[in-house]
C-alpha cells in the first residue's frame, strides 16, 4: 500500500500539546524525508473553560472532541493526544493507530519553598487538576488543603510562583517535555500517588480503516508501552473511568509478564480500594478486566455507587 505524501496533524494549541505534535512531526520527517507534515492547531472546550473542574464540565474527552471533528471532516489525518486524555471508548469510526514509548509516568512535586510532600506544614495549599491525585493526597496528608488547579503547565506554575499555592502536583512527563524538569523538587512514588491510565504516553488517533496511516506510523509504535496502556485503559473502561472518578491504573512489564496496579477512591480520600494483578502481557485487556473485577470485589463498587 502506497504511503501518503502529505500529512496534517491535529493538535491542541497549548505549548505542551504543540511539543507533542512537533515531536511526532520530527520523528516522521526523519523516517520519511519526502513526507510533508504540517500541524493544525485547534482550541478545545477543555482548554477554554478554566473556571470549573474537568469533572464539572464533562471530563477529559473535551480535550479531544474538536480534534476528532477535524479528522472526520478530512481537515487532518491524525491527532496527537496525551494517552491519559483519550476517552476509554472511542467514537465509532476512530481508532488508535500508534502508542509511543512512554516518558516517566509518575507525578511530580513542585514547590518553591519545600522539598517534599512530607515537609509541607499543616494547612499548606496544594494545587492539582486531578481527582485521582486529590483523593490520594487527602488520604495520606489530611492536614493539607488540596485545591483545584486548572490551566496549562505554564499557567499552573505561574499560580505557584505568585504564591497562590504552597506546592502543585503535575506530571513528570509534561514538565520534562517542556524543558521544565528543573522545577521538579521530588518525583512522587507510585505508592503515594499511583499514576493515571496512560500517563506519560502519547497516542495517535486516526479514522478507522486508514491502514496506510497505521503502516506509516508503525515505526513509532512501542509494543511494551502499548501493552501497559491497553491494560490500564481496560481497568478504567471496566469501571466507567473518567476524570470524574478518582481512579488510577499503572502497568509495568517484568521478566515474567505484566504487573498491573489500580485503585478507586472516594473524592475526599476517606475510602480507597487498592488491588494488583500479574499476568500475560500478550492479553492486556484481559488483565485489566481482572484487576477491575478484583477492585470491585474489594469494595470499589460501593464507592462507585455513591458517585
**Measured distance between the N- and C-terminal CA atoms of the chain, rounded to whole angstroms:** 48
CB atoms within 10 A of CB 301: 13
pLDDT surpassing 70 at residue 49: no
Query: The pTM is what?
Result: 0.91
Which of the four pLDDT bands, split at 50, 70 and 90, describes residue 64?
A: confident
pLDDT surpassing 80 at residue 51: no
Mean pLDDT for 7-21 is 95
Strands (E), 59-191: 78-82, 94-99, 107-110, 125-128, 145-148, 167-171, 186-188
pLDDT tens-place string over residues 76-107: 999 999 999 898 999 999 999 999 999 999 99
**Average of per-residue pLDDT values in the chain:** 92
Tell me the percentage of the chain whose pLDDT exceeds 90: 84
Please count the residues of the chain. Answer: 307
Mean pLDDT for 154-175 is 97
Instruction: Tell the burial category of 36 from Cβ atoms under 10 Å away from its Cβ (0-12, 13-18, 19+).
Output: exposed
Residues with catalytic roles:
85
Identify the structural domains of the chain with CATH numbers, from first to last: 6-100+201-221 (3.40.190.10), 107-188 (3.40.190.10), 233-300 (3.30.160.40)
Alpha-helical regions (H) of 32-171: 45-48, 54-57, 65-72, 131-140, 153-161
pLDDT tens-place string over residues 207-253: 999 999 999 999 999 999 999 999 999 999 999 755 478 999 999 99
**In whole angstroms, what is the distance from residue 288 CA to residue 286 CA?**
5
Mean pLDDT for 152-159 is 95
Choose the weakest-confidence range: 47-56, 175-184, 265-274, 284-293.
47-56
Mean pLDDT for 29-40 is 96
Amino acid at each position: 500500500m502506497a504511503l501518503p505524501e502529505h500529512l496534517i496533524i491535529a493538535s491542541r494549541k497549548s505549548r505542551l500539546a504543540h511539543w507533542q505534535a512537533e515531536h511526532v512531526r520530527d520523528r516522521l520527517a526523519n523516517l520519511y524525508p519526502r513526507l510533508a507534515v504540517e500541524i493544525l492547531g485547534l482550541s478545545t472546550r477543555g482548554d477554554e473553560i478554566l473556571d470549573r473542574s474537568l469533572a464539572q464540565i464533562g471530563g477529559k474527552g473535551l480535550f479531544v472532541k474538536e480534534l476528532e471533528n477535524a479528522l472526520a471532516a478530512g481537515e487532518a489525518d491524525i491527532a496527537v493526544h496525551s494517552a491519559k486524555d483519550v476517552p476509554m471508548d472511542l467514537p465509532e469510526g476512530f481508532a488508535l493507530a500508534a502508542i509511543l514509548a512512554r516518558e516517566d509516568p509518575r507525578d511530580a512535586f513542585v514547590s518553591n519553598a519545600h522539598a517534599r510532600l512530607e515537609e509541607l506544614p499543616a494547612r499548606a495549599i496544594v494545587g492539582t487538576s486531578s481527582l485521582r491525585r486529590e483523593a490520594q493526597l487527602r488520604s495520606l496528608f489530611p492536614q493539607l488543603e488540596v485545591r483545584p488547579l486548572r490551566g496549562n503547565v505554564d499557567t499552573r506554575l505561574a499560580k505557584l510562583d505568585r504564591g497562590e499555592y504552597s506546592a502543585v502536583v503535575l506530571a513528570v512527563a509534561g514538565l520534562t517535555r517542556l524543558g521544565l524538569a528543573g522545577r521538579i523538587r521530588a518525583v512522587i512514588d507510585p505508592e503515594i500517588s499511583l499514576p493515571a491510565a496512560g500517563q506519560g504516553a502519547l497516542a495517535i488517533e486516526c479514522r478507522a480503516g486508514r491502514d496506510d496511516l497505521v503502516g506509516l506510523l508503525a515505526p513509532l509504535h512501542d509494543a511494551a508501552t502499548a501493552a501497559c496502556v491497553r491494560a490500564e485503559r481496560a481497568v478504567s473502561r471496566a469501571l466507567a473511568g473518567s476524570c470524574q472518578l478518582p481512579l488510577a491504573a499503572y502497568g509495568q512489564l517484568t521478566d515474567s509478564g505484566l504487573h498491573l496496579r489500580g485503585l478507586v477512591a472516594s473524592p475526599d480520600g476517606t475510602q480507597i480500594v487498592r488491588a494488583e494483578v500479574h499476568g500475560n502481557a500478550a492479553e492486556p485487556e484481559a488483565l485489566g478486566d481482572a484487576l477491575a473485577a478484583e477492585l470491585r470485589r474489594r469494595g470499589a463498587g460501593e464507592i462507585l455507587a455513591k458517585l
